[in-house]
């Protein structure tokens, strides 16, 4: 799976899908480690999935993305959607999401959850690194079918260049391009740039030149995207600090859990 130039996220996806998203008959299940309400997006309910096709060296959920892939109960799409909708109504929030790991692993499960959640008038936020979408335009076409039904696809771009991507994830640098391809495909198939699909970019490890670079790249995909960046920064939870020390990464800027910026850890 790996080489001196990094591992292949697509191959990693294929290896872990039978563990985190097995099929039982015609139903694709998905492994979850918790459901919660959170403050992001002005209030949102979340199902945190197990397993990811990247090994980000700053990942807040690495205990369920790097390892423990067989931990956490398996849920069918209907039970997940029912739980998310119930939580959303209970807490009076308009959005639901799958997060934690990579939700596009187990794609059939994902789209059924989206279908059931949006059918109840809840906006569904898909947080994804976009790699599987960029590699298979059929996934982009399927997600675009939720145009104007209440979907937001947030493509979390890891770094501002292939080199930064490799530094942050350990994956082969060329996989970075698949994240940008996902943005392009989703727009081509009809999702509204800046509203239904937009980039989030990890900026903790870059500089002003990196920010200018990624804005220029995004602007070429669609003029709206450069001004629609949702900036991502490392949050220094204790277990994240432990991981950063273990991996040797040092952010240029990060934030404490209570939202205070810190230049260096």
How confident is the model at residue 164, as a pLDDT? 97
How confident is the model at residue 136, as a pLDDT? 98
Lowest model confidence (mean pLDDT) among 15-19, 84-88, 175-179, 238-242: 238-242
Using an 8 Å Cβ cutoff, are 135 and 11 in contact? no
Rounded Cα distance between 107 and 89, Å, is 26
Tell me the chain's radius of gyration from C-alpha atoms.
17
Average the pLDDT over 202-227 and give the result. 97
Average the pLDDT over 97-112 and give the result. 96
Residue 235 contacts by C-beta under 8 Å, 6 or more apart in sequence?
Answer: 60, 254, 255, 256, 257
Using an 8 Å Cβ cutoff, are 21 and 30 in contact? yes
* Average pLDDT score over the chain: 94
How confident is the model at residue 202, as a pLDDT? 97
Average the pLDDT over 158-182 and give the result. 98
Quickly tell me which residue has 């920064």 as its tokens: 233
How confident is the model at residue 203, as a pLDDT? 97
Residue 99 contacts by C-beta under 8 Å, 6 or more apart in sequence?
Answer: 46, 47, 48, 49, 127
Query: DSSP per residue over the chain, as a string?
Result: ---TT-B-HHHHHHHHHHHHS-EETTEE-EEEEEEEEESGGGSEEEEEES--S---TT-TTHHHHTS-TT-S-EE-HHHHHHHHHHHHHHHT-SEEEEESS-TTSSHHHHHHHHHHHHTTT-EEEEEE--HHHHH-HHHHHHHHTTTTTSEEEEEEE-SSSHHHHHHHH-B-GGGHHHHHHHHHHHHHTTPPBTTTEEEEEE-TT--HHHHHHHHHHHHHH-TTGGG--EEE-EE--HHHHHHHHHHT---SSEE-TTS-EES--
Q: Is the pLDDT of residue 265 over 90?
A: no
How confident is the model at residue 141, as a pLDDT? 98
Using an 8 Å Cβ cutoff, are 104 and 132 in contact? yes
How confident is the model at residue 257, as a pLDDT? 86
pLDDT tier, 3 (very low <50, low <70, confident <90, very high otherwise): low
For the stretch 111-141, pLDDT in tens is 999 999 999 999 999 999 999 999 999 999 9
Q: How far is CA 240 from the centre of its chain?
A: 17
Task: Report the percent of the chain where pLDDT is more than 90.
Answer: 91
Q: What is the CB neighbour count within 10 angstroms for residue 211? A: 15
Q: Is the pLDDT of residue 80 over 60?
A: yes
How confident is the model at residue 61, as a pLDDT? 86
pTM of the model: 0.94
Q: How far is CA 36 from the centre of its chain?
A: 17
Q: Is the pLDDT of residue 222 over 90?
A: yes
Q: Is the pLDDT of residue 262 over 70?
A: no
Q: Is the pLDDT of residue 1 over 60?
A: no
pLDDT tier, 264 (very low <50, low <70, confident <90, very high otherwise): very low
Rounded Cα distance between 52 and 66, Å, is 7
For the stretch 24-72, pLDDT in tens is 999 999 999 999 999 999 999 999 999 999 999 999 888 888 889 999 9
Q: Which two tokens stand for residue 82?
A: 């029912």
How confident is the model at residue 249, as a pLDDT? 95
How confident is the model at residue 126, as a pLDDT? 97
How confident is the model at residue 156, as a pLDDT? 97
Rounded Cα distance between 69 and 122, Å, is 29
């Amino acid at each position: 799976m790996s080489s001196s130039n990094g591992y292949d996220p697509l191959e990693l996806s294929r290896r872990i899908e039978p563990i985190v998203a097995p099929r039982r008959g015609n139903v694709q299940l998905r492994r979850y480690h918790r459901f919660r309400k959170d403050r992001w997006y002005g209030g949102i309910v979340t199902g945190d999935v197990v397993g990811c096709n990247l090994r980000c060296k700053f990942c807040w959920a690495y205990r369920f993305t790097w390892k423990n892939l067989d931990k956490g109960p398996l849920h069918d799409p209907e039970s997940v959607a029912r739980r998310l909708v119930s939580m959303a109504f209970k807490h009076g929030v308009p959005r639901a999401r799958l997060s934690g790991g990579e939700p596009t692993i187990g794609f059939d499960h994902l789209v059924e959850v989206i279908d059931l959640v949006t059918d109840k008038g809840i906006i569904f936020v898909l947080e994804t690194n976009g790699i599987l979408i960029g590699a298979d335009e059929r996934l982009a076409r399927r997600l675009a079918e939720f145009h104007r039904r209440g979907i937001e696809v947030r493509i979390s771009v890891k770094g501002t260049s292939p080199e930064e991507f490799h530094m942050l994830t350990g994956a082969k640098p060329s996989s970075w391009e698949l994240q940008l391809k996902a943005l392009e495909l989703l727009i081509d198939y009809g999702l509204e740039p800046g509203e239904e699909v937009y980039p989030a970019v990890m900026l903790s490890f870059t500089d002003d030149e990196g920010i200018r670079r990624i804005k220029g790249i995004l602007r070429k995909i669609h003029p709206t995207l450069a001004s629609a960046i949702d900036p991502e920064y490392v949050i220094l939870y204790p277990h994240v600090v432990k991981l950063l020390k273990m991996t040797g990464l040092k952010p240029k800027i990060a934030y404490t859990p209570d939202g205070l910026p810190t230049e260096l850890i």
